[in-house]
A and B are shown apart, each in its own frame.
Chain A
């Protein structure tokens, strides 16, 4: 009998093509569930058949004194859960005893945040150190066992607008972190630090410099001015390119304060050795007149070489953005139709599927929330435009079921007028924020959608009463979980979208959930602590759900 010499090829290929399996041990050791950010678990104890029996098994009440948007996804490793809260308290809980092992309260210096005092979580390296980015733009390494500070680096000067809100990413012996502050005239960046020493390994700038500058980026030969794109794919951006070009000499240094924050944890692919980041809005946010050009790499998904920190490719979703429709939701790597792709759910209400090797657009999905007057310019009386400034999809991470080829997206529908006049004028209450003004009386709601990545079609959608901000989780048993601002935490059938279970957590469940194994049981955890931007009820608890013990005993 001849045995094929290639029988070993398939398993090797699958191993090479798959991300590092964080769920092999039942732990959840990265913000996105695995390096690819898929938020997809291979755990199989909780199924569509028994999910209706889920109940609260533990509540970790963090007891923080100052509440704010609670956007954390817990990390679980070796029987310990690590949680971060608004205003940068980190804590560790022993899952056996449910007791708090340690607590670290970062002493914040000057801070500046557009969108709440949030923190989305830690990264863990080798089980030894835990890393947290802070609102005053520090990266802090803590001893995983004691919570003592091992090192503390200033990543950016908070007085100049820099802050950090996302969970860092570990790649080998490096810890990777980006900065927020695109509203405040920063020049955004992503930096790799040595996990043990805190020494900087490389820094990549999200705003490319012109030729002659030491940080010149070869992938943007015309600097941040780009190619003067008049359109975003087929959509007219209504730019006055001639005026922008005429003004470009006057605003030659605008790139130095061009914005481009990195709000969320990047994805990493080991085979390509690439980091994929989503870059936020240019600065200033509204006044595009003083930042002519495409404003690269704002509003883009970018591939960065994980060893050198050099740009590989970029795909800009909205050149010269004046609508705050920036790229926020973290990129996700997934195999789509046999090709490795990077997927991003935009504020634009499209899911972009990009070739992971080249950045070329494979397809753009159908819109997952309503669109009207895309890229319309504002007017004094107001131009109705959808999506509004929150999207689409805001920072909420998507989850992907690679077996179905679906991406699960938490979306917002907020009809708004794009207006150049604040109306009515009230003394002391001038509106400085977004140019989008909610239209009184018009319904706002959320849409939880399954997007078929192979076709771009919407497989199913569920409408919920409020615009969604939080994120998704998918499991191998065909379940997807997400939370709502009214406190509902939901489980749906991944294939059909049927609601199978719901629990109300009290405060808004506006964070991305996760799942883990402990003591032979599978649990689902979500932080239910509300959201500052959308005024959802605030709280301080992480809820952990599991099947009843008797259900476990019967198995």
Chain B
């Protein structure tokens, strides 16, 4: 019957659409740049600390790698920057973890990505954004 066939067609289209949307979500995981305060607030304390430590290591690498010839160069530069207190993100993970938790206490900060939180916290700690540290 025409009505039954039409109903099946509509049902197939709906199911197909839903499946496609789900597949689309699986194929495009959220970018790590999009991790924000909501994600931070869901993290267990150990996860937060590990997340911060990972960020700090990445920031140190990025700072040291600029202009480096090879990995030995990077390593030497990181160690020197650390010794001289010239890493851009110079404080311990406990400091950033504590301050970012307070940062995201503000409800309107929650949608902001964590990289932004790191930047704001670091600036509030008196560390300039630019590379020209004393």
For B14-52 the 0/1 string (1 means CB < 8 A from A) is 000000000000000000000000000000111000000
| A160 with B101: CB separation less than 8 A | no
| A161 with B91: CB separation less than 8 A | yes
Query: CA A380 – CA B110 in complex, angstroms?
Result: 14
In the complex, chain B residues 82-126 whose Cβ is within 8 Å of any chain A Cβ? 85, 90-92, 94-95, 97-99, 101-109, 112, 120-121, 124-126
| Closest chain A residue to B103, Cβ basis | A432
Q: Which of B90, B102, B103, B109 contacts A159 (CB 8 A)?
A: B90
Q: How many A-B residue pairs have CB under 8 A?
A: 91
Residues of B near A423 (CB, < 8 A) are 108
| Range class of the B interface residue count | 20 to 34
A432-B121 contact in complex given A287-B104, A290-B101, A420-B107, C-beta closer than 8 Å: yes
Residues of A near B125 (CB, < 8 A) are 112
| A253 with B45: CB separation less than 8 A | yes
| B95 with A160: CB separation less than 8 A | yes
Stretch at the interface among A78-86, A180-188, A464-472, A490-498: A180-188
For B44-67 the 0/1 string (1 means CB < 8 A from A) is 111000000000000000000000
Residues of A near B121 (CB, < 8 A) are 432
A430-B120 contact in complex given A112-B125, A161-B92, C-beta closer than 8 Å: yes
| B95 with A284: CB separation less than 8 A | no
Residues of A near B94 (CB, < 8 A) are 160-161, 184-186, 257
Among B98, B102, B103, B105: residue with most chain A CB under 10 A: B98
Q: What is the interface of chain A mostly: helix, strand, loop, or mixed?
A: loop
Residues of B near A254 (CB, < 8 A) are 45
Residues of A near B97 (CB, < 8 A) are 185, 257
| A431 with B91: CB separation less than 8 A | no
Query: CA A207 – CA B103 in complex, angstroms?
Result: 23
Query: CA A284 – CA B105 in complex, angstroms?
Result: 10
| Closest chain A residue to B46, Cβ basis | A253
A432-B101 contact in complex given A159-B91, A250-B45, A421-B108, C-beta closer than 8 Å: no
Residues of A near B107 (CB, < 8 A) are 380, 420-421
| Closest chain A residue to B92, Cβ basis | A160
A432-B98 contact in complex given A251-B45, A287-B104, C-beta closer than 8 Å: no
| B95 with A422: CB separation less than 8 A | no
Question: In whole Å, how far is A224's beta carbon from the nearest beta carbon of chain B?
Answer: 14
Query: CA A235 – CA B27 in complex, angstroms?
Result: 54
| A431 with B45: CB separation less than 8 A | no
In the complex, chain A residues 59-113 whose Cβ is within 8 Å of any chain B Cβ? 109-110, 112
| B45 with A422: CB separation less than 8 A | no
Query: CA A253 – CA B94 in complex, angstroms?
Result: 12
> Does A8 lie at the interface of the complex (its beta carbon under 8 Å from any beta carbon of B)?
no
| B90 with A184: CB separation less than 8 A | no
In the complex, chain A residues 385-431 whose Cβ is within 8 Å of any chain B Cβ? 420-423, 425, 430-431
Residues of A near B106 (CB, < 8 A) are 420-422, 430-431, 435
- Nearest first, the 8 closest Cβ-Cβ pairs linking A and B are A185-B98, A185-B94, A160-B92, A286-B105, A110-B85, A284-B101, A184-B95, A287-B101
Other A-B pairs beyond A422-B108, A435-B106, 14, CB < 8 Å: A110-B90, A159-B92, A160-B92, A185-B92, A185-B95, A250-B44, A253-B45, A254-B45, A259-B98, A284-B98, A287-B105, A420-B106, A423-B108, A430-B106
A positions within 8 Å CB-CB of B: 109-110, 112, 157, 159-161, 183-186, 250-251, 253-254, 257, 259, 283-287, 290, 380, 420-423, 425, 430-433, 435
B positions within 8 Å CB-CB of A: 44-46, 85, 90-92, 94-95, 97-99, 101-109, 112, 120-121, 124-126
